[in-house]
Amino acid sequence: MLRLDAKTLVLFVFTATTVAAAGSSLNEQLPAGPERGKAIAACSNCHEPRIIVQQRLSKAAWTKEVDKMIRWGAEVDPNDRDALIDYFSTNFNTEQAAYVAPKTLSGSKPHAKAKR
């Protein structure tokens, strides 16, 4: 049976927390810009910014997305709507490299056995 002493456990929890924190600071944040604060205020009540950061959408699709979120309850000042759509479509558009999900395990190779 596996037994963990307190020191090992503390180290494990510390490492896991550090890895998670590093992951979120790398690419889970909304980018700097005048709309960042507004986006956080309007869009992070129901879900993390991650759900926004991982999108790659056209401006038309962002327009639909923001309007849908407003219908679902996001509080966006009508004067900020267009600027928010611009902010998202400038930063998360189809020209950008695909989103890379952060790994919670360092050095793991989940598909190592699937080599062809």
The binder of ligand HEC chosen from 30, 43, 89, 91 (CB under 6 A): 43
Distance of closest approach, residue 64 Cβ to ligand HEC, in angstroms: 9
Q: Is 85 in the site for ligand HEC (CB under 6 A)?
A: no
The binder of ligand HEC chosen from 30, 35, 74, 91 (CB under 6 A): 74
Q: In the window 3-32, what residues touch ligand HEC (CB under 6 A)?
A: none
| Residue 58 Ramachandran class (φ > 0 left, ψ -120 to 50 alpha, else beta) | beta
The binder of ligand HEC chosen from 15, 16, 47, 103 (CB under 6 A): 47
Q: Is 107 in the site for ligand HEC (CB under 6 A)?
A: no
The binder of ligand HEC chosen from 15, 25, 45, 94 (CB under 6 A): 45
Q: What is the DSSP string of 17-85?
A: HHHHHHHHHHHSSPPSSTTHHHHHHHHSSSS-THHHHT----HHHHHHHHHHHHHHT----TTTHHHHH
Q: How many CA atoms lie within 13 A of 16 on its CB side?
A: 6
